[in-house]
């Protein structure tokens, strides 16, 4: 059973994390954080898209804004 867990350790440490070890050992800070910048740009684009969709929904007037419409008392 130990060999199974050692195999999983070997897979992650020596294979799957190898690209991150290469990024970590780079001297250039900008190049080392390229993945972080890409993920931040994707997140910012998704945020802008979602805010535009919410504005479009809000401007269409489909929402029932009556304060008593959601009262469950």
Domain annotation covers residue 51: yes
Domain annotation covers residue 72: no
33: left (phi over 0), alpha (psi -120 to 50) or beta: alpha
The model's pLDDT over 14-42, given as tens digits with 9 standing for 90+, comes to 999 988 888 888 888 888 898 899 999 99
Domain annotation covers residue 66: no
Q: How far is residue 30's CA from residue 1's CA, in Å, rounded to a whole number?
A: 43
Residues with Cβ within 8 Å of 63's Cβ and at least 6 positions away in sequence, in order, are 57
The SS3 call for residue 32 is: helix
Domain annotation covers residue 31: yes
The model's pLDDT over 45-73, given as tens digits with 9 standing for 90+, comes to 999 999 999 999 888 877 766 666 565 55
The C-alpha angle with vertex 69 and arms to 67 and 70, in degrees rounded to 5, equals 90
Task: Say which residue, 7 or 72, is predicted with more confidence.
Answer: 7
Domain annotation covers residue 71: no
Count of the separate structural domains present in the chain: 1
- Structural domain boundaries, residue 25: 2-60
Domain annotation covers residue 35: yes
The whole-model pTM stands at 0.61
Domain annotation covers residue 56: yes
Domain annotation covers residue 73: no
């Amino acid at each position: 059973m130990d060999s199974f867990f050692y195999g999983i350790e070997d897979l992650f440490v020596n294979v799957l994390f190898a690209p991150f070890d290469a990024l970590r050992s780079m001297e250039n800070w900008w190049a080392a954080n390229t993945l972080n910048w890409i993920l931040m740009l994707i997140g910012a684009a998704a945020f802008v898209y979602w805010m535009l969709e919410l504005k479009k929904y809000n401007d269409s007037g489909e929402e029932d804004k009556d304060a008593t419409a959601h009262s469950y008392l």
